[in-house]
Chains A and B, each alone.
Chain A
Amino acid sequence: MSQLTAKGVSVRLGKRPVLQDIDLDLAGGTLVGLIGPNGAGKTTLLRTMAGLQPTTEGALSLDGRPLTQIDPRRRAQQIGYLPQEGRISWRVSVEDLVFTGRLPHRSYFTGQNSTDSEAVAAALAAVGADELRPRIATDLSGGEKARVLLARALAGEPAILLADEPVAGLDPYHRLEVMEHFASLAAGGRAIMVVLHDLTLAARFCDQLVLLDEGTVAASGKPEDVLDDERLESVYRIRAIRGSEDGRPFFVPWERL
């Protein structure tokens, strides 16, 4: 099982420090929720872990090897990344779009083979988007598009998947469906980190939560430990009504503080 580790990672964008001294372990078999208020540095952290954002200090390693020393295509076979911005520039079919997720596995001169087709079919089935296959990707609704873009990331069959707000814009049914799918992928041995704003979903599905605040890790651990009233007040500046169901906490944000 793969393991992605951040050690003492700091990132500056221009002169602004965005991440400071982050230590993080993302191991196979776990679903980690990355939470925190807007501007806390979640996207930057995810991009850094995907190898897309150079660190100012500290380093990342994949199974003990420095991430910067791994060939980008090899890295892409191991680490999948689903950006928050779901831009699709051309009117390609859903199937063609999901096929681009196989790019890291295809050498320059070979076309698509049956392994690619199977991976694409599995990825589409996983997000319940089979019937969208022949549709034009840019004509889809927001929720359909989000699922198809997730299928693109899954098609590469990465051992580690980093997803930036994959359930934003999805209705409750599809939120649950996608999160269930992440949970089952993690149970199957993959390492998955998901940026979430929905604290109930985070607590319900994630094995671990990492709470980011102003570029530092404010807390990490089991959901019920991370999401106590004090942290919701100090980090999120809200008061939430909480309850519990099946031993998992849930939250209804109630008022600003």
Chain B
Amino acid sequence: MTAAAQPRVRAWRLNLGLSLLLALLLVASLLVGPSGVGLTEFLEALTSSATEEASIILLEIRLPRTLLGLLVGATLGLAGAAMQGYLRNPLAEPGLIGISSSAALGAVIMFYFGIASMFALALPLGGMAGAAVAAVLLRLLAGRTTNSLTLILAGIAITSFAGALTSLALNLAPSPFAALEIVFWILGSLEDRSFDHVWLAGPFILVGWVMLAGSSRGLDALTLGEDAAASMGINLVRTQRLVVYGTALSVGAATAVTGVIGFVGLVVPHLLRPLVGHRPGALLGASALGGAVLTLTADLVVRLTGTGATLKLGVLTALVGAPFFLWLVLRTRRLEG
């Protein structure tokens, strides 16, 4: 076996292992919850002899929650890997270009004007509108250049402005209760989501995945810099569009239905990178699987520890993610020092 075959085989084994783990987590996610509906009822539901209550819990509460965990987690892992590969920076994450904060702002606006209470899908629709506005702004600000610094600066500008408007909404909130509602939503959660959310966000997420996956050749070539990549026939403008709009579609839709779930997109690609021989293209698939595994695990932890005030998923991922980020910074500093 050649030296390069080893990381290839290892990457294949890694993907297989992650897929098995993901399958287990999907089942676990269907079996765990406060209602006590467990394995027996699950098996009964499969053979359609379960009680109506158990079927409702399984099919209308836990199944959409599980599917959303899968979709959102894989999106964050995939978009994080693509963004890091494109910017050639291990500290990049999907939120960098301002899509998540704008999606959050879109939902916050729905709360603020009371539209959220008029119909169930107002929040995700608002979130998606926010993400779309951010994508248009990115296009206007970063334009046709393939300069990654321009893209990052445009992303920072959009993130800051969306953050400022969200703060303004909290500041001017009509009641403390409204402000609390806004804050809780922003924290990010998979709770109380229905199949409507899955159908609404799913198509956008899937199209985003296809676009991000399509950037893999370009990401591999970019390892050698922009000129070398272009000389190998890579269209840099196209690669940038695939990464930016793929992220906008998938992360925008994901944030619109779940709120902001941080650090998954930063931590997962970073953890898995050495296991795929540091190849940015090969990292995409592994990172998508890893993102789903981490998100579903975190959601299970949230459910199992949920007594009284439930811990929000976004809070948990940030609690675990922030110390990891610090470790990452220290390690990078040590390696460069």
Interface residues on B, range: 20 to 34
Which residues of A are found within 8 Å of B235, using beta-carbon distances?
72
Pick the contact of B225: A71, A75, A87, A93 (CB < 8 A). Answer: A87
| Distance A89 CA – B233 CA, assembled complex (angstroms) | 19
A96 and B227 contacting across the interface, CB-CB below 8 Å: no
| Distance A71 CA – B234 CA, assembled complex (angstroms) | 11
In this complex, how many residues of chain A approach chain B with their Cβ under 8 Å: the count is 39
**Interface-side segment among A58-66, A97-105, A239-247:** A97-105
| Distance A80 CA – B227 CA, assembled complex (angstroms) | 11
B window 1-31: CB within 8 A of A: 2-4, 7
Closest to A158 in B: B231
What per-residue 1/0 map shows which CB atoms of A33-73 lie under 8 Å from chain B?
00000000000000100111000000000000000000111
A85 and B225 contacting across the interface, CB-CB below 8 Å: yes
- Judged by a CB distance under 8 angstroms, whether B303 is at the interface is no
Which residues of A are found within 8 Å of B224, using beta-carbon distances?
83, 87-89, 97, 100, 149, 152
Which residues of A are found within 8 Å of B278, using beta-carbon distances?
90-92
**Interface-side segment among B152-160, B173-181, B185-193, B214-222:** B214-222
Which residues of A are found within 8 Å of B7, using beta-carbon distances?
93, 96
Which residues of B are found within 8 Å of A90, using beta-carbon distances?
88, 223, 273, 278-280
Which residues of A are found within 8 Å of B234, using beta-carbon distances?
72, 103
Task: Indicate the member of B4, B217, B234 with the most A CB atoms within 10 Å.
Answer: B4
25 A–B pairs (Cβ distance < 8 Å), ordered by A: A71-B233, A72-B233, A72-B235, A73-B233, A76-B233, A80-B231, A81-B227, A81-B228, A83-B228, A87-B225, A90-B223, A91-B278, A92-B223, A96-B4, A96-B277, A96-B279, A97-B223, A100-B221, A101-B232, A103-B221, A103-B233, A103-B234, A104-B233, A133-B2, A152-B224
| Chain B contact residues, CB within 8 Å of chain A | 2-4, 7, 88, 217, 220-225, 227-228, 230-235, 273-274, 277-280
